[in-house]
């Protein structure tokens, strides 16, 4: 029931990031390389639903926390999250954890 990804993200203007909300999964991020800000909480702005997931262009409000190589953060199910301020590129490990 677990989904594991290694994601390579490019910073703007090359690849603007979208905000996400996963209704039935928590998501654990581990920063393998690079530096970015992960905004969690607040409200997802606009977007659309795909199954149990939502995507939107940004998050309004929330808490911004800098993530660098070796850092990890758990985002609970139902909490908007969004990578911003990507310094060049990042590579992060993402583990989706279903909630019961």
Residue 14 pLDDT: 82
Residue 11 pLDDT: 87
Residue 95 pLDDT: 98
State how beta strands 35-40 and 19-22 pair: unpaired
Q: What is the pTM of this model?
A: 0.92
Which positions ≥6 away from 74 have C-beta within 8 Å? 26, 27, 28, 29
Which residues of the chain carry a pLDDT beneath 70? none
Residue 13 pLDDT: 80
Residue 16 pLDDT: 84
């Amino acid at each position: 029931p677990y989904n594991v990804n290694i994601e390579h993200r490019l910073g703007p203007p090359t690849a603007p990031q979208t905000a996400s909300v996963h209704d039935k999964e928590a998501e654990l991020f581990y920063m393998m390389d690079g530096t970015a800000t992960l905004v969690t909480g607040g409200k997802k702005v606009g977007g659309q639903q795909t199954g149990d997931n939502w995507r939107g262009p940004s998050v309004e409000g929330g808490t911004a926390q800098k993530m660098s190589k070796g850092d990890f953060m758990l985002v609970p199910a139902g909490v908007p999250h969004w990578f911003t301020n990507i310094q060049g590129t990042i590579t992060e490990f993402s583990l989706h954890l279903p909630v019961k």
